[in-house]
A and B are shown apart, each in its own frame.
Chain A
Amino acid sequence: GIQVEQSPPDLILQEGANSTLRCNFSDSVNNLQWFHQNPWGQLINLFYIPSGTKQNGRLSATTVATERYSLLYISSSQTTDSGVYFCAVNHGGSQGNLIFGKGTKLSVKP
């Protein structure tokens, strides 16, 4: 099946710093989502981005489908950005479910 790899696995930032999270996938996809899981376990939709670039405030994402990767940019990080960031894909399999990467655990220090 399709493989989803995220890097780095852990990231520690000082408040105000910028960061880039990467998601590589092993096959073509028609659905790619970025999620933020907060310390309470809630999984928050950040972007639905099977291709192209989107921005939402301090966050932006780019997916280059032909090269099978996606990037999530966080600018001017805040302590509330802490948590785990997941990339998840679907490549048109019969189940229609998302295949998740193992996540990047981000800690933003004040």
Chain B
Amino acid sequence: DVKVTQSSRYLVKRTGEKVFLECVQDMDHENMFWYRQDPGLGLRLIYFSYDVKMKEKGDIPEGYSVSREKKERFSLILESASTNQTSMYLCASSPWRSYSNQPQHFGDGTRLSIL
């Protein structure tokens, strides 16, 4: 069974802090994704990666960066946290095989509050 693990379920940080959200998957998947979920806006893609050290911007990358140094780990970085980044963050992974037609598996999410 696929396991996607996010490092924290709840996180509280202060404005201006550098924040790291970690995601690890155990199925040797090539693709990994970061989404954020907001009421009324649904889930939106921030960044994704299809290989180690590779990254692509999603729909809302501003204020975020990512790191993928190892295949199993994909980190989302808030360079200088702001209150409008308070949200639910969800990580997902999927295998590459013409990558758009494989099921994605999600972690449990991190509820991040920026004060």
B42 with A97: CB separation less than 8 A = no
Residues of B within 8 Å of A91, CB to CB, are: 100
**A interface, over-half SS:** loop
B-contacting residues, A18-48, CB 8 Å: 30-31, 33, 35, 40-43, 45, 48
Chain A interface residue count, Cβ-Cβ cutoff 8 angstroms: 25
Q: Is the CB of A97 within 8 A of B48?
A: yes
Q: Size class of B's contact patch?
A: 20 to 34
Task: Encode contact with A along B18-42: 1 for CB under 8 Å, 0 otherwise.
Answer: 0000000000000101010000101
Chain B 22-81 residues near chain A, CB threshold 8 A: 31, 33, 35, 40, 42-43, 45, 48, 50, 56, 58
Q: Which of A51-110 contact B (CB under 8 A)?
A: 86, 88, 90-93, 95-98, 100-103
Please name the residue on chain B nearest to A101 by beta carbon: B42
Q: Which residue of A lies closest to B43 (CB)?
A: A100
| Bound form: Cα–Cα A13–B35 in Å | 30
Distance to closest chain A CB from B44 (angstroms):
8
Binding site for B on A (CB under 8 A): 30-31, 33, 35, 40-43, 45, 48, 50, 86, 88, 90-93, 95-98, 100-103
Tell me the minimal C-beta distance from B5 to chain A in angstroms.
12
Q: Does B114 contact A (CB under 8 A)?
A: no
A96-B31, A100-B42 given as contacts; is B48 within 8 A of A45 (CB)?
Answer: no
